[in-house]
A and B are shown apart, each in its own frame.
Chain A
Amino acid sequence: MNRFAWAIALPILAGLAVMPFYVSNYIITFTIQTFMWIALAESWNIISGLTGYVSFGHVAFFGTGAYTAAILISKAGWHWFAAALTGSLTAASLALIIGYPCLRLKGPYFAISMLGLNEVVRALVSYFEGLTGGGSGITLSPMSSISPLYYSMGGVALAGLFITYWIITSRFGLRLLSIREDEMAAEAMGINTAALKLYAFLISAALPGIAGGFYARYVTHIEPIGTFPLLTTITMIVMCLFGGRGTIFGPILGATLLSIFQELVWTRFLFLHEAIFGAIIVFVILLMPRGILGVLQQRYRLPRTI
């Protein structure tokens, strides 16, 4: 990263690091949520922004991580941090099981199969009541201070940024992009698209897995309907598309902007909020398919790796 980027990034990171000591609980809570959205948008970007394989059920990995952590904490007495990290393992395992067959499907067929994935995971969670508490869910004891969660969730978002940066500036990332641009040509040139897609998918599932794990600790009560909502998938898709799919900072930009808007304007009316997200999706696809950063890249000839 060049000096300009560091000059902006360091103060922001420093500011975020000390923020919990100076601001209200409300702001801390809001920032934790924003960190979560950043991590989710970044994860969706890794699979869908880069390879073009639209994952419509990505919240399934988030929910899997949440339930893994909650079960480990409440039933096995694990520490929440380790439990959340394990959430990434179960999420990645799920991605491996689903991804191995489904990624062979061409683009639109993959998207539809992912649409069903979320519903299936939710149904399974409800079914295995003994483990997951079924419809009533799992409750954890409240935390005395949420600062550790603030730094943890921030850490996930930051990790997501570094992973995205590393991928996009590497040849691995170039190859993922070639899948999006023209998978057939990529294969003809010797790129093992099947394996690469799977790696990207696994990485893109591990991140929400950890985020879900921290989320479970943060909200202290999870149950199937609230943990696997379609709205979460929609939100992370909109945030990524809005900011700029396939870019490094696009998901962060989109997640931050829309998280602020969400908090200020729309959380009062849930359905209007969702309807507006639908309208934003339509707007972005028709008029701004490459997002804000995509427009800037074309207009001002910015490099691909921003």
Chain B
Amino acid sequence: MTIQITGTMILQGVVSGLLAGGLYAMVALGMALIFGVMRVINVAHGTLLMLGGYTTFWLFALYGMNPFFSLVISFPLLFLVGAFLQRFFVSRVVGAPELSSLILTFGISIFLSNMAMIAWTGDYRSVEFLTGSFLLGPIAVSKPRLVTFCFALGITILAFLFLNKTKTGKAIRATSQHRELAQVCGINVRRIDLLTFGLASGLAGVGGGLVSIMFSIFPEMGGNYVFKSFLVIVLGGAGNYLGALLGGLILGVVEGLTSLLLTAQLSEVIAYILLVILLLVRPTGLLGGRR
């Protein structure tokens, strides 16, 4: 089945994709931080995102709270959840082979997502707060996407300011660049681990809230976002946080274009093949990072 692909359609795909990409970038940043600081691949990152999504959803559904406002609640809430998980579970495998943390966080994500399934059923939920789109020339810009993009951008900028301008933020970056050296310089790396995991979980939680506005949420959604975040990290280069931003936007655009031209299923296949090729050809990412 062939359809006429016009320049407008392509531009549409790019714009929609960029807007989604901002969200992917923010979520991937969290996962990149955890990987950078602790060399842990946090498969539960997507599950934390899911929990954040449900937080926003229920605050909206039960109390009518403005979902963007609820982000102020979901960030600290998921920060605490993340810190808890780190303190009692993940901290025990930092330093163990990376696969231990992979399987551990996998187990945590299975547990949490199924508890969510029991509690809230598998129905798709979304926050119907912002709907519709407006026309920017020939392009239809979806309102929810635009606003969530702005929020994602804003929060990411805040995160970067935190990482670059504050003492703690710099300590986090130092630890992720050279853990032993950071310790020698007097940085309490265990506290940094805790803070980083909490921060990343908060970012994931906020991401989930934005997803509930932009798309929809369901308990099993986590895996998809973990995979996407990983793809973003690989695109941008492990340890290269700015690269993660760019990677997120690239992923968004690629996704936007492929869903235009192919079915959603095939675009998953494309994403996967992209990931494998990237890992093989340039494992340090498009922009170069650490191994």
Physical contact A–B (CB less than 8 Å):
yes
**A residues bordering B, Cβ < 8 Å?**
52, 54, 56, 101-102, 104-109, 111-113, 115-117, 119-120, 123-124, 126-127, 230, 234, 237, 241, 269, 271-272, 274-275, 277-282, 285-286, 289
Within 8 Å by CB of A123, from B98, B102, B111, B269, lies B269
| In the assembled complex, B118 has its CB within 8 A of some CB on chain A | yes
| Given A124-B269, A230-B223, A274-B110, A113 contacting B104 (CB threshold 8 A) | no
Q: List residues 198-255 of chain B with CB under 8 A from any CB of chain A.
A: 223, 226-227, 230, 234
**Cα distance A281–B271 in the bound complex, in angstroms:** 29
Q: Give Cα A271 to B230, complex, Å.
A: 27
B98 partner residues in chain A, CB cutoff 8 A: 107-108
Give me the interface of B with A, judged by CB distance under 8 Å. 41, 89, 92-93, 97-100, 102-104, 106-112, 114-115, 117-118, 223, 226-227, 230, 234, 263, 265-266, 268-269, 271-272, 275-276, 279-280, 283, 291
Interface of B is mostly: helix
Given A105-B279, A271-B117 in contact, is the A278-B108 Cβ separation under 8 Å?
Answer: yes
Q: In the complex, are the beta carbons of A52 and B99 less than 8 A apart?
A: yes
User: Which residues on the B side are within 8 Å of A119 (C-beta)?
Assistant: 227, 268, 272
CA A56 to CA B110, docked complex, whole Å: 13
Q: Is the interface of A mostly helix, strand, loop or mixed?
A: helix
Check B272 against A272 for contact (C-beta < 8 Å): no
Tell which of B102, B111, B280 touches A108, judged by Cβ atoms closer than 8 Å: B102
Chain A residue nearest to B281 in the complex (CB) = A101
CA distance A230 to B271 in the complex (A): 19
Question: Which chain B residues border A241 with CB–CB below 8 Å?
Answer: 103
Judging by beta carbons under 8 Å apart, are B110 and A54 in contact? no
10 A-B interface contacts by CB (under 8 A): A107-B99, A108-B41, A112-B41, A112-B230, A127-B266, A271-B118, A274-B110, A282-B104, A285-B100, A285-B103
Minimum CB–CB distance from B219 to chain A (whole Å) comes to: 9
Within 8 Å by CB of A101, from B111, B112, B114, B276, lies: B276
Residues of chain B lying within 8 A (CB to CB) of residue A106: 291
Q: Which residue of A lies closest to B269 (CB)?
A: A120
**Which residues on B sit within 8 Å (CB–CB) of A107?**
97-99
Contact partner of A279 (CB less than 8 A), chosen from B107, B117, B226, B230, is: B107
Assess the A113–B117 pair: CB atoms within 8 A. no
> By the criterion CB–CB under 8 Å, are A111 and B102 in contact?
yes
- The 6 tightest CB contacts between A and B, nearest first, are A281-B107, A278-B110, A278-B111, A275-B114, A123-B265, A282-B107
Inter-chain contact B103/A105, CB cutoff 8 Å:
no
A282 and B99 contact, CB distance less than 8 A: no
Chain B residues with Cβ under 8 A from A282's Cβ? 89, 104, 107-108, 111
Selected contact of B283 from candidates A56, A105, A120, A280, CB within 8 Å: A105
| Shortest CB distance A207–B (Å) | 21
In addition to A119-B227, A285-B104, 10 A-B residue pairs with Cβ atoms within 8 Å of each other are A54-B103, A101-B280, A115-B223, A116-B271, A127-B263, A237-B103, A269-B118, A278-B109, A278-B110, A279-B107
Q: Check if A286 sits within 8 Å of B265, measured CB to CB.
A: no
Please state if B276 and A113 are interface contacts (CB–CB under 8 Å). Answer: yes
Q: Which residue in B97, B114, B230, B283 is a CB contact (below 8 Å) of A272?
A: B114
Given the known inter-chain contacts A127-B265, A278-B111, A278-B114, please indicate yes or no for A116 contacting B104, CB distance below 8 A.
no
A271 near B114 (CB under 8 angstroms)? yes
Closest CB-CB distance, A230 to chain B, in whole Å? 7
Q: Is the CB of B114 within 8 A of A234?
A: no
Distance between Cα atoms of A270 and B122 in the complex (Å)? 12
Distance between Cα atoms of A280 and B108 in the complex (Å)? 10
Contacts of B117 in A (CB 8 A): 271
- Chain A residues with CB under 8 A of B265: 123, 126-127
Are A278 and B107 in contact, with the CB atoms below 8 A?
yes
**From residue A198, how far is it (CB to closest CB) to chain B in Å?**
15
Closest partner residue, chain B, to A275 (CB atom): B114
With most chain A CB atoms within 10 A of its CB, the pick from B98, B112, B263, B279 is B279
Residues of B within 8 A of A111 (CB): 41, 99, 102
Residues on A with C-beta less than 8 A from B223 are 115, 230
User: With A281-B104, A285-B107 as given contacts, are A123 and B266 in contact (CB-CB < 8 Å)?
Assistant: yes
**Within the assembled complex, what's the spacing in Å between the Cα atoms of A160 and B111?**
30
Cα(A126)–Cα(B269), bound, Å? 12
Identify which of B102, B109, B263 gathers the most chain A CB atoms within 10 Å of its CB: B102
Cα separation A152 to B268 with both chains bound (whole Å): 36
For A102, the chain B residues whose CB sits under 8 A away are 276
State A279–B112 Cα separation when bound (angstroms): 9
Q: Which residue of A lies closest to B121 (CB)?
A: A271
Instruction: Tell me the minimal C-beta distance from A53 to chain B in angstroms.
Output: 8
**Are A120 and B272 neighbours in the complex by a CB distance under 8 Å?**
yes
